[in-house]
Protein backbone atom coordinates (compact mmCIF):
# COMPACT_ATOMS: atom_id res chain seq x y z
CA UNK A 1 0.00 0.00 0.00
CA UNK A 2 1.26 3.47 -0.89
CA UNK A 3 1.06 6.31 1.62
CA UNK A 4 0.35 9.82 0.34
CA UNK A 5 1.72 12.35 2.82
CA UNK A 6 -0.01 15.65 2.03
CA UNK A 7 0.26 19.19 3.31
CA UNK A 8 -1.87 22.11 2.13
CA UNK A 9 -1.50 25.84 2.44
CA UNK A 10 -4.55 28.05 2.20
CA UNK A 11 -5.50 31.71 2.13
CA UNK A 12 -5.37 33.17 5.62
CA UNK A 13 -5.54 36.44 7.49
CA UNK A 14 -4.04 37.65 10.75
CA UNK A 15 -7.40 38.56 12.24
CA UNK A 16 -9.36 35.35 11.57
CA UNK A 17 -9.24 31.81 10.26
CA UNK A 18 -12.84 30.95 9.39
CA UNK A 19 -12.51 27.71 7.41
CA UNK A 20 -15.25 28.58 4.92
CA UNK A 21 -13.33 31.70 3.92
CA UNK A 22 -10.06 29.85 3.27
CA UNK A 23 -9.09 28.35 -0.11
CA UNK A 24 -6.24 26.01 -0.95
CA UNK A 25 -3.28 27.82 -2.54
CA UNK A 26 -0.67 25.05 -2.45
CA UNK A 27 -0.65 21.24 -2.44
CA UNK A 28 2.53 19.45 -1.49
CA UNK A 29 2.70 15.66 -1.23
CA UNK A 30 5.16 12.82 -0.90
CA UNK A 31 4.33 9.26 -1.97
CA UNK A 32 5.83 6.52 0.20
CA UNK A 33 6.08 2.92 -1.02
CA UNK A 34 4.99 1.75 2.44
CA UNK A 35 4.41 3.30 5.87
CA UNK A 36 8.17 3.35 6.43
CA UNK A 37 9.22 4.46 2.94
CA UNK A 38 11.05 4.78 0.68
CA UNK A 39 9.92 7.89 -1.18
CA UNK A 40 8.47 7.08 -4.61
CA UNK A 41 7.77 10.63 -5.77
CA UNK A 42 6.58 14.12 -4.99
CA UNK A 43 3.76 16.41 -6.10
CA UNK A 44 3.84 20.18 -5.75
CA UNK A 45 1.46 22.74 -7.21
CA UNK A 46 0.16 26.19 -6.48
CA UNK A 47 -3.59 26.77 -6.74
CA UNK A 48 -5.27 30.00 -7.84
CA UNK A 49 -7.87 31.14 -5.30
CA UNK A 50 -11.06 32.58 -6.77
CA UNK A 51 -13.19 33.73 -3.85
CA UNK A 52 -10.56 36.16 -2.55
CA UNK A 53 -7.79 36.05 -5.13
CA UNK A 54 -5.51 38.61 -3.46
CA UNK A 55 -3.32 37.08 -0.76
CA UNK A 56 -3.14 38.96 2.52
CA UNK A 57 0.17 40.34 3.75
CA UNK A 58 -0.07 37.85 6.62
CA UNK A 59 -0.52 34.91 4.23
CA UNK A 60 2.41 35.94 2.04
CA UNK A 61 4.66 36.39 5.08
CA UNK A 62 3.59 33.12 6.74
CA UNK A 63 3.92 30.94 3.65
CA UNK A 64 6.37 32.87 1.42
CA UNK A 65 3.90 32.19 -1.41
CA UNK A 66 3.77 35.22 -3.70
CA UNK A 67 0.84 36.77 -5.49
CA UNK A 68 2.49 35.82 -8.80
CA UNK A 69 2.69 32.18 -7.65
CA UNK A 70 -1.08 31.96 -7.28
CA UNK A 71 -1.98 34.32 -10.14
CA UNK A 72 -0.12 32.03 -12.55
CA UNK A 73 -1.56 28.82 -11.08
CA UNK A 74 -4.46 26.71 -12.25
CA UNK A 75 -7.74 26.74 -10.30
CA UNK A 76 -8.50 24.00 -7.78
CA UNK A 77 -10.46 21.63 -10.05
CA UNK A 78 -7.56 21.36 -12.51
CA UNK A 79 -4.91 20.96 -9.82
CA UNK A 80 -7.05 18.38 -7.98
CA UNK A 81 -7.35 16.35 -11.18
CA UNK A 82 -3.56 16.38 -11.63
CA UNK A 83 -3.05 15.49 -7.96
CA UNK A 84 -5.43 12.53 -8.14
CA UNK A 85 -3.72 11.29 -11.31
CA UNK A 86 -0.33 11.56 -9.59
CA UNK A 87 -1.60 9.68 -6.51
CA UNK A 88 -2.45 6.69 -8.65
CA UNK A 89 -4.85 3.86 -8.02
CA UNK A 90 -5.58 2.19 -4.69
CA UNK A 91 -4.47 0.67 -2.50
CA UNK A 92 -3.25 3.90 -0.97
CA UNK A 93 -3.69 5.78 2.26
CA UNK A 94 -4.10 9.56 2.42
CA UNK A 95 -2.16 11.04 5.36
CA UNK A 96 -1.73 14.51 6.83
CA UNK A 97 -0.52 16.15 10.03
CA UNK A 98 -3.86 16.62 11.74
CA UNK A 99 -7.36 16.86 10.32
CA UNK A 100 -7.10 20.32 8.73
CA UNK A 101 -5.92 19.20 5.28
CA UNK A 102 -8.72 16.67 4.85
CA UNK A 103 -11.32 19.20 6.02
CA UNK A 104 -9.98 21.90 3.68
CA UNK A 105 -10.03 19.50 0.73
CA UNK A 106 -13.67 18.71 1.52
CA UNK A 107 -14.52 22.43 1.72
CA UNK A 108 -12.84 23.19 -1.60
CA UNK A 109 -14.55 20.25 -3.30
CA UNK A 110 -17.89 21.55 -2.00
CA UNK A 111 -17.03 25.09 -3.16
CA UNK A 112 -16.56 23.82 -6.72
CA UNK A 113 -19.42 21.31 -6.51
CA UNK A 114 -16.97 18.43 -6.97
CA UNK A 115 -17.51 14.96 -5.58
CA UNK A 116 -15.18 14.30 -2.67
CA UNK A 117 -12.62 11.85 -4.10
CA UNK A 118 -12.69 8.29 -2.79
CA UNK A 119 -8.87 8.51 -2.59
CA UNK A 120 -9.25 10.64 0.55
CA UNK A 121 -11.71 8.36 2.38
CA UNK A 122 -9.00 6.30 4.08
CA UNK A 123 -7.38 9.24 5.90
CA UNK A 124 -4.72 8.77 8.54
CA UNK A 125 -4.05 11.60 10.97
CA UNK A 126 -0.26 11.35 11.30
CA UNK A 127 -0.18 13.80 14.23
CA UNK A 128 -2.36 11.46 16.31
CA UNK A 129 -0.56 8.33 15.11
CA UNK A 130 2.80 9.93 15.98
CA UNK A 131 1.54 10.99 19.43
CA UNK A 132 0.30 7.45 20.16
CA UNK A 133 3.57 5.97 18.88
CA UNK A 134 5.62 8.44 20.96
CA UNK A 135 3.36 8.25 24.04
CA UNK A 136 2.80 12.01 24.19
CA UNK A 137 0.00 14.46 23.52
CA UNK A 138 -0.29 15.62 19.88
CA UNK A 139 2.12 18.42 18.92
CA UNK A 140 2.62 20.77 16.01
CA UNK A 141 4.94 19.61 13.25
CA UNK A 142 7.91 21.80 14.24
CA UNK A 143 7.68 20.65 17.87
CA UNK A 144 7.37 16.99 16.83
CA UNK A 145 10.52 17.29 14.73
CA UNK A 146 12.39 18.78 17.71
CA UNK A 147 11.19 15.97 19.97
CA UNK A 148 12.63 13.50 17.47
CA UNK A 149 15.93 15.42 17.30
CA UNK A 150 15.25 16.24 13.66
CA UNK A 151 15.87 19.60 12.02
CA UNK A 152 13.04 21.31 10.18
CA UNK A 153 14.11 21.18 6.55
CA UNK A 154 12.96 23.89 4.18
CA UNK A 155 10.41 26.49 5.19
CA UNK A 156 7.62 25.75 7.64
CA UNK A 157 4.17 26.53 6.17
CA UNK A 158 5.16 25.58 2.64
CA UNK A 159 3.22 22.59 1.38
CA UNK A 160 6.09 20.68 -0.19
CA UNK A 161 8.54 21.34 2.65
CA UNK A 162 6.04 20.35 5.33
CA UNK A 163 5.04 17.21 3.40
CA UNK A 164 8.71 16.22 3.19
CA UNK A 165 9.18 16.79 6.92
CA UNK A 166 6.07 14.74 7.76
CA UNK A 167 7.35 11.96 5.48
CA UNK A 168 10.73 12.06 7.28
CA UNK A 169 8.92 11.54 10.60
CA UNK A 170 6.93 8.65 9.12
CA UNK A 171 10.05 6.97 7.77
CA UNK A 172 11.86 7.46 11.10
CA UNK A 173 8.99 5.68 12.87
CA UNK A 174 9.08 2.83 10.36
CA UNK A 175 6.10 0.59 9.78
CA UNK A 176 5.01 0.89 13.42
CA UNK A 177 3.40 4.35 13.21
CA UNK A 178 0.33 3.21 11.29
CA UNK A 179 -1.19 1.46 14.28
CA UNK A 180 0.72 3.22 17.08
CA UNK A 181 2.90 0.26 18.08
CA UNK A 182 6.26 1.04 19.68
Residue 177, SS3 per DSSP: helix
Q: What per-residue confidence (pLDDT) applies to 179? A: 61
Listed in sequence order, the residues at least 6 apart from 122 whose beta carbon sits closer than 8 Å to its beta carbon are 92, 93, 94
Active site residue 156: no
- 4-12 average pLDDT score: 97
The single residue of 9, 23, 119, 123 carrying the catalytic annotation is 9
Taking the domains of the chain in order of start, what are their residue ranges? 2-178
Q: What is the per-residue pLDDT for 53?
A: 96
Residues 39-52: what's their mean pLDDT? Answer: 97
The pLDDT tens digits of the residues spanning 159-169 come to: 999 999 999 99
Active site residue 9: yes
Biggest CA-to-CA distance, the chain: 46
Q: Closest Cα partner for 117 from 80, 159, 78, 91? A: 80
Q: What's the pLDDT at 178?
A: 73
Which of 15, 157, 175, 176 is labelled catalytic? 157
Query: What tens digit of pLDDT does each residue of 64-104 get?
Result: 999 999 999 999 999 999 999 999 998 999 999 999 999 99
CATH number of 2-178: 3.30.420.10
Which pLDDT value is given to residue 163? 98
Within 8 A by CB and 6+ apart from 22, the residues are 10, 11, 12, 104, 107
pTM: 0.94
Q: Where would I find the H helices in the chain?
A: 57-63, 67-71, 76-87, 100-111, 126-134, 141-147, 159-173
Amino acid sequence: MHYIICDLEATCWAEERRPERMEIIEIGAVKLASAGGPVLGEFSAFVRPVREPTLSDYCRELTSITQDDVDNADPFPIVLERFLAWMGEPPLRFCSWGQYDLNQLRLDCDRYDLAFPAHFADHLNVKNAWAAWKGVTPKGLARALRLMDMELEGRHHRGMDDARNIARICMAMGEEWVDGRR
